[in-house]
A = this chain, B = another copy of it.
Amino acid sequence: MTIATDLENRFAEREAQLLDDLFAFLRIPSVSAKAEHNADTQRAAAWVHGRFEKMGFTVETCPTPGHPVVLAEWRKAPAGAPTFLVYGHYDVQPAEPLNLWTSPAFEPTIRDGKLFARGSVDDKGQLFAHIAALETMLEVRGKLPVNVIVIAEGEEEVGSENLAPFIEKHKKRLACDGVVISDSSMFAPGIPSILSSLRGLAYFEINVRGPAQDLHSGSYGGAVVNPAMALARILATMHDANGKIMIDGFYDDVLPFPPDVIAGMRKLPFDEENFRKEVGATSLGGEPQFTVLEKLWTRPTCEVNGLLSGYTGEGAKTVLPGVSMAKVSCRLVPKQDPAKIEALMKAHVAKVAPKGVQVTVTHLHGGKPWRADLEGPLFEAAKKALAAAFGRAPEVTGEGGSIPVVGDFERILGVPVLLMGFGLPGENAHAPDEWMSVDNFKLGMRAIAALFEELGAGGVS
């Protein structure tokens, strides 16, 4: 299979304009976590709505208790043609710390073939690759080879709380033959990838309250339990010295990956020393009996995501803080369940919390881990389409991050989910200087078009 000439020519003509359009999308600071950006988040939804409307989709911006879901449908494929659902998200992570961005987070800039902007790769750039593919096919051919439903949500970065209820509610309308999601990364530049597993998540906030207010550390220190020190002691109980998680029952539901999948992972061209250098750490961590890829793709974690207590400005202030806070999250692997991990975490913290402080654990959000069935026409079509666009057969990879909705789609709609992403390692998805490879954006939209062509030709129903 190769990319059809009519499409290829039109992609080549439109590329510059499409990048300009993506820039406009990226300039909208649709930070879903921050109420001060609510108007921007709405503006991003309206932008997506308008784009699909213009290309002839039937579009609805559906309110939720949080940010709206944009639902776009094109159902004019020949009778008997299958229907595929594309999922993406128009919201982005907070951009802080702003001073660490080389160019402003919401002013897209291309340097060395990389498009820098908050949301460039996660996920506006990848969502827009689908928009660009569908739009170009409609422009050139006046029609699509399959029926397409697009769901663009605005709460992926805050846990997609309202998406599963939305899918559930519109289950019939969303009936399809498979779901396609581009919100992940390729294994390496030039190696297109099909992502076959995701870790789940259980994200907590731990709050420790000691004295009723901040105290003078001289006048009170030594007789009052320090809530920042108490928090440190609680956190330090969560692992042993080898990185094993010490929360009772934490590993009980872990289902080992099949030996052939592990064997495949070990064959991937992966240089752990390169990874260390890229990360910039003096040495790597985690349980020593696993390779880095196994640690990232097949093992659960317990990480501190944030710490705050007392005085954090310049110089010295002799305060004994009244409160302390940690954000702590666990990545989960099949078949760990966030609700069960929540119970285990709460029991553990209650067990180890020192006297003299009051500790609360709040489960901010969770998502189940996921593992794909690696057979069937959707995966076969994806392999061909990726090979056509990138000139190389794709690899099957895993992912340490979470896309909770993947499991939801699979479970509610009862169809396979294809994760075909165009990010790259080091893309800084949740950090300053997030970027997307401009080449991957261009090849990605071609691969997406090829996928729909193949799915239309093959007939999956």
Contact = CB atoms under 8 A, between A and B. Distances in A.
A313 B225 CA distance: 25
A286 B210 CA distance: 13
B431 A295 contact: no
A62 to B, nearest CB: 22
Interface in A195-250: 199, 201, 203, 205, 210-226, 228-229, 231-233, 235-239, 241, 243
Contacts of A322: 280
Interface stretch (A49-57, A128-136, A296-304): A296-304
A279 interface: yes
Q: Which residue, of A232, A292, A312, A432, has the highest number of chain B Cβ atoms within 10 A?
A: A232
Interface string A306-343: 11111111111111111011110101000000000000
A364 interface: yes
Contacts of A68: none
Given A219-B429, A316-B365, A212 B280 contact: yes
Interface in A169-184: none
Given A203-B318, A282-B357, A317-B93, A303 B226 contact: yes
A356 B283 contact: yes
Interface residues of A, number: 101
B219 A401 contact: yes
Q: Which residue, of A281, A292, A319, A364, has the highest number of chain B Cβ atoms within 10 A?
A: A281
Contacts of A312: 306-308, 325, 327
A59 B302 CA distance: 61
Contact of A229 (B213, B226, B303, B401): B303
A437 B233 CA distance: 38
A218 B399 contact: yes
Q: Which residue, of A220, A231, A310, has the highest number of chain B Cβ atoms within 10 A?
A: A220
Given A307-B324, A316-B203, A324-B307, A430 B282 contact: no
Interface of A: 33-35, 93-94, 96, 100, 158-159, 185, 199, 201, 203, 205, 210-226, 228-229, 231-233, 235-239, 241, 243, 275, 279-286, 292, 295-296, 299-301, 303-322, 324-327, 329, 331, 354-358, 364-365, 399-402, 428-433
28 contacts: A33-B316, A35-B314, A158-B315, A203-B318, A215-B431, A217-B331, A218-B402, A220-B279, A223-B286, A226-B285, A229-B235, A229-B238, A231-B307, A232-B232, A233-B239, A236-B237, A281-B357, A282-B357, A282-B358, A285-B354, A285-B356, A304-B310, A304-B321, A306-B312, A307-B312, A316-B327, A317-B327, A317-B430
